[in-house]
A and B are shown apart, each in its own frame.
Chain A
Amino acid sequence: MARDLSPAVSPPRAAQARGGGRVTDGPAPPPRRPGRRARGWLYVLPAVAVYLGFAIWPALNTLRLSLLTWDGILPAEWAGLSNYVKIFRDSQLYEAILHSLALIIFFSVIPIGVGLLMTALLMGKVRRGMTFFRIVFFLPQVLPLVAVGITWRWLYSESGVVNQFLDLVGLGSITRAWLGDYGLALVALGLIGTWVMSGLCMMLFLAGAQKIDPSLYEAARLDGAGAFRQFRHVTVPGVRREITVAGVITTISALASFDLVFVTTNGGPAGQTNVPGLLVYRLAFNEGDIGGASALAVVLTVIVVAVVSAVRYFTRDDES
Chain B
Amino acid sequence: MTRPARRAAVAALSVTTAFALTACAGTSGSGGNTATKVDVSTTIPNDPVTLTLAYTNDPPTKALIDGFTQKHPNVTIKPQMTPFNDYIKSIKLAMSGDAAPDIAQYNPGAMNSLVPAGLILDLSPWSKAYGWTTKFPPASLEVLSSDKSAKQFGTGSLYAVPGGLSVLGVFYNKKIVKEAPKTLADFEAAMQKAKDAGQTPLSNGALQVGGFHLWNALLNVTGDVNDYRSWVYGKPGATIENPAALKATQTLTDWAKKGYISSGASATADPDALASFAKGKSAFLITGNWGASALETEMKDDVGFFLMPTPSGEPAKVASGASVAYAISSKSKNPNVAAAFLDYLSSPEAAKIEFEGGFMPVDTKAELGATGLRGDIASAFAPVAQGNGIVPFPDFASPGMIDKLTPGIQGLISGKMAPDAFLKSLQESWDGHHGS
Binding site for B on A (CB under 8 A): 37, 41, 48, 52, 56-57, 60-61, 64-65, 68, 70-76, 153-154, 156-158, 176-182, 185, 265-271, 282, 285-288
Contacts and interface: CB of A to CB of B under 8 A. Distances in A.
A265 B92 contact: no
B23 interface: yes
B20 A60 contact: yes
Contacts of A60: 16, 19-20
A185 B400 CA distance: 23
Contacts of A270: 266, 407-408, 410-411, 414, 416-417
Contact of A177 (B12, B19, B112, B266): B266
Nearest to A154: B272
A181 B263 contact: yes
Interface string B263-274: 111111100100
The residue among B92, B266, B272 with the most chain A CB atoms within 10 A of its own CB is B266
Given A52-B16, A56-B16, A68 B406 contact: no
A269 B266 contact: yes
Interface in B57-89: 88-89
B267 A57 contact: no
Given A60-B19, A76-B29, 20 more contacts: A37-B4, A52-B15, A57-B16, A73-B113, A73-B117, A74-B116, A157-B264, A157-B267, A157-B268, A158-B264, A180-B267, A269-B266, A269-B407, A269-B411, A269-B413, A270-B407, A270-B416, A271-B411, A287-B400, A288-B399
A65 B8 CA distance: 26
Given A265-B207, A269-B410, A282-B403, A72 B113 contact: yes
Nearest to A38: B4
Contact of A268 (B24, B31, B266, B400): B266
B216 interface: no
The residue among A52, A73, A180, A181 with the most chain B CB atoms within 10 A of its own CB is A73
B268 A180 contact: yes
A56 B18 CA distance: 13
6 contacts: A71-B112, A73-B114, A75-B29, A269-B414, A270-B417, A286-B403
A72 B109 CA distance: 12
A158 B207 CA distance: 14
Interface in B7-61: 8, 12, 15-16, 19-20, 23-24, 27-31
B12 A52 contact: yes
Given A182-B416, A270-B417, A285 B89 contact: yes
Nearest to B116: A74
B44 to A, nearest CB: 30
A287 B399 contact: yes
A177 B263 contact: yes
Contacts of A75: 27-29, 31
Nearest to B24: A64
A180 B16 contact: no
A60 to B, nearest CB: 6
A-B pairs, 8 with minimum CB distance: A177-B264, A180-B267, A270-B411, A75-B29, A180-B266, A73-B113, A179-B267, A269-B266
A37 B208 CA distance: 57
Nearest to A267: B407
Given A37-B4, A180-B264, A286-B109, A153 B414 contact: no
Contacts of B109: 286, 288
Given A64-B20, A72-B92, A288 B413 contact: no
B96 interface: yes
B113 A268 contact: no
Contacts of A267: 407
A270 B20 CA distance: 39
The residue among B112, B399, B403, B417 with the most chain A CB atoms within 10 A of its own CB is B403
Interface string B381-413: 000000000000000000110110011101101
A157 B200 CA distance: 14
Given A265-B207, A286-B400, A70 B267 contact: no
A13 B255 CA distance: 81
Contact of B88 (A48, A265, A285): A285
The residue among A57, A269, A282 with the most chain B CB atoms within 10 A of its own CB is A269
A157 B268 CA distance: 8
Interface in B315-349: none
A68 B113 CA distance: 16
B262 A177 contact: yes
Contacts of A185: 267
Contacts of A158: 262, 264
A156 B8 contact: no
A212 B403 CA distance: 52
Contacts of B19: 57, 60-61
Given A177-B262, A287-B399, A61 B20 contact: yes
B407 A153 contact: no
B8 A41 contact: yes
A76 B88 contact: no
Contacts of B417: 270
B112 A288 contact: yes
B424 to A, nearest CB: 14
Contacts of B264: 157-158, 176-177, 180
Contacts of B119: 73
The residue among A57, A60, A70, A266 with the most chain B CB atoms within 10 A of its own CB is A266
Nearest to B200: A158
Contacts of B206: 180, 268-269
Contacts of B265: 177, 180
Contacts of A156: 267
A53 B27 CA distance: 18
A43 to B, nearest CB: 13
B268 A177 contact: yes
A268 to B, nearest CB: 5
Interface in B245-268: 262-268
